[in-house]
Amino acid sequence: MKALLKRLAVYCDIGSREEAVAAELETESHSYAPGEQMVCEGDQLRHAFVVERGWASAHRDLEDGRRQVVHFLMPGDFFGLQVMVARTADHSITALTEVEAFRISPGAISHLFAEPSDIGIALWWAQVQEESILREHIVRNGRRNATERVAHLLLELHRRARIVGHAESETKHFPLSQQLIADSLGLSVVHVSRVMTRLTKDKLIERKGKSLKITDRDGLNALCEFDTGYLHLEADISAFRLKRPGRPPDQTPGENRAGAA
Amino acid sequence: MKALLKRLAVYCDIGSREEAVAAELETESHSYAPGEQMVCEGDQLRHAFVVERGWASAHRDLEDGRRQVVHFLMPGDFFGLQVMVARTADHSITALTEVEAFRISPGAISHLFAEPSDIGIALWWAQVQEESILREHIVRNGRRNATERVAHLLLELHRRARIVGHAESETKHFPLSQQLIADSLGLSVVHVSRVMTRLTKDKLIERKGKSLKITDRDGLNALCEFDTGYLHLEADISAFRLKRPGRPPDQTPGENRAGAA
DNA sequence: CGGCCTGTTGAAGAAGGTCAACCTACGTGG
DNA sequence: CCACGTAGGTTGACCTTCTTCAACAGGCCG
């Protein structure tokens, strides 16, 4: 549960109570091989899960083979709060690297929300954040050109990776093939290749094997007006706090735009 | 609150308890003129709201004027569960017709989830459904061509309108300009016009003034493989029900594909 | 009446898609 | 150790889809 706690720590203080609650969730760890289908569209969902290690993609496939990636799951990300109300999966999840995940039963989830810990609120926040990421995905693919899309996606992934401490080295292991990027951005692989070689030649990024380094973040930012606002890195949970006093409000320092990221 | 209850009734039985809980929310009704900005990106959110009457669009605007509509709000739709954890709006909401909405305070929301009524679960379900609609939006715009996008959007809107009983006449008042459709589908107005003229000439739809009639649903379905699965019209809330026994499970009859819709 | 908003149509152009060849890195089996 | 196959990436040529620009038409409202 380390990844989840790390992520939640961004906006709320994790105390011993939260750690205890999180520890209870660690019951059933499961690991998936790269390429393995973790959830298949149409499946009956029996549990949600939290990713502890590795990357996965959420996607839908059309009859004729076209595929659209709707979301990338990284450590600390949650899948399937919907298991509480909707039993049938409306999209698939595929492991991109080796993935370790904790399965969480519906019962455990509703327990989480009843428990007096911040974890329940935290999950809500994670849900809000994910939805916001989906909206930004729509904006990116709908109103930006190919170069802007690639730049924006790379910045988002890098920023999200940093939250769970996976980009501190700047040169991070980057597990996405150009096919996946294309399927996320609604472009062809060929065009993604062209754009990325362009970005490389312009010294905005550097690629070696399976690693990707952002060498000129300001340059990328300038290309696509990246704004981290939608990631809601500063949450305000005072609405909930009112109910359970006795804690100081969080003081997460701000960070929003371009250079700051 | 009639619209909300009507919508929720699709998958859970509304009893007197639920009606009472919903009635409590009706405190502050507010009405907005067509074109009025209900929420502005960057605003500090003070309350969520439920749409009772009218249509609204959720959108983000880029610096250079490009606009992307990320969601259409219809009667019974909810905005701003995020108010519980994130105070700053990450997108704007604009009334498209005259809109009547009930404002809901964060306190009232958390109360809803504490109350022993189905309304809390219902909101959760609404949230899951909305997220699913966003995912489908990504798929539509990412991997479908212009004609498919238009057909798919029209079918979705029609289907959603029917849930709250606004499409029974088939010839419904359709408040979306081609500009809005374009901004939702990531296309230019001109191209939307061309596609819709084509669909009209092919007798798939009929347009008169501000009304739009789907004259050949099977034809439209065939164009875009529309599948209502993602709308989660059949919810399974047994996970929650376990906690509060004493009610028979719902028996919402199925309906999924093409001709059936 | 005139202005404005919405939609229509045509012509020209750009962005990105498709097809196909080729290249490298890697893993597997002989 | 090399031969081979496969997956991922690159590059060029050509073509399609959608965009842009521009002109015009109808409805609505002051």
Residue A175 has pLDDT above 80, yes or no: yes
A90 vs B71, B87, B232: nearest CB? B232
Which pairs count as long-range contacts for A202-211, CB under 8 Å and 24+ apart, including other chains? Answer: A204/A151, A205/A154, A206/A171, A210/A173, A210/A174, A210/A175, A211/A171, A211/A172, A211/A173, A211/A174
Query: Taking the C1' atom of D10, which residue's CA lies nearest?
Result: A193
Residue A108 and residue A14 in contact, taking contact as beta carbons nearer than 8 Å: no
Could you tell me if A81 lies within 8 Å of chain B, comparing CB atoms? yes
Verify whether the Cβ–Cβ distance B62 to A139 is below 8 Å.
yes
Residue A171 is predicted with a pLDDT of: 62
Give which of A60, A104, A143, A244 to mutate to test B binding, by max B Cβ within 10 Å.
A143
CA of A194 to C1' of D13 (A): 15
Which nucleotides of strand D lie within 7 A of protein CB?
7-13, 17-22, 27-28
Verify whether the Cβ–Cβ distance B83 to A134 is below 8 Å.
no
Residue B251 is predicted with a pLDDT of: 39
| Alpha-carbon Rg for chain B in angstroms | 19
Interface of B with A in 112-141 (CB under 8 A): 113, 121, 124-125, 127-132, 134-139, 141
CA of B110 to C1' of C23 (A): 60
Residue A115 has pLDDT above 80, yes or no: no
A135 vs B70, B86, B242: nearest CB? B70
Q: Which residues lie near nucleic chain C, judged by CB under 7 A? A: A 145-147, 186-188, 190-191, 209; B 177-179, 189-190, 193-194, 196-197, 200, 207
Can you tell me whether residue B73 is helix, strand or coil?
Answer: strand
Verify whether the Cβ–Cβ distance A130 to B131 is below 8 Å.
yes
CA of B92 to C1' of C3 (A): 30
User: Angle at Cα B206 formed by Cα B137 and Cα B58, nearest 5°?
Assistant: 30
Within 10 angstroms of residue B25's Cβ, the number of other Cβ atoms is 20
A31 vs A175: CA distance, rounded Å: 17
Bridge partners for B32 per DSSP: B99
Residue A188 has pLDDT above 80, yes or no: yes
Direct distance between the N- and C-terminal alpha carbons of chain B, in angstroms, rounded to an integer:
26
Burial level of A155, CB count in 10 A (0-12/13-18/19+)?
buried
CA of B147 to C1' of D16 (A): 14
CA of B149 to C1' of C5 (A): 25
Averaged pLDDT score across all residues of chain A: 85
Tell me which of A172 and A245 has the higher pLDDT.
Answer: A172
Which chain B residue's Cα is nearest to A230? Answer: B90
B217 vs B176: CA distance, rounded Å: 19
* Mean pLDDT, rounded, for A149-169: 86
B95 vs B108: CA distance, rounded Å: 24
Tell me which of B130 and A8 has the higher pLDDT.
Answer: B130
Can you tell me whether residue A107 is helix, strand or coil?
Answer: helix
Residue A14 has pLDDT above 70, yes or no: yes
* Among A58, A74, A78, residue whose Cα is nearest residue A122: A78
How many helices (H) and strands (E) chain B has is answered by 9, 11
Can you tell me whether residue B145 is helix, strand or coil?
Answer: coil
Burial level of B160, CB count in 10 A (0-12/13-18/19+)?
buried
Task: List the beta strands (DSSP E) in B66-199.
Answer: 67-73, 78-79, 92-95, 99-104, 171-173
Phi-psi region of A245 (alpha: psi -120 to 50; beta: other; left: phi over 0): beta
Which chain A residue's Cα is nearest to B45? Answer: A236
What residue ranges of chain B have pLDDT lower than 50?
Answer: 241-261
A134 vs B131, B186, B236: nearest CB? B131
Residues whose CB is less than 8 angstroms from the CB of residue A229 and which lie 6 or more positions away in sequence, other chains included: A256, B42, B88, B90
Can you tell me whether residue A257 is helix, strand or coil?
Answer: strand
Verify whether the Cβ–Cβ distance B85 to A235 is below 8 Å.
yes
Residue B168 is predicted with a pLDDT of: 58
Using a pLDDT cut of 90, give the percent of chain A over it. Answer: 57
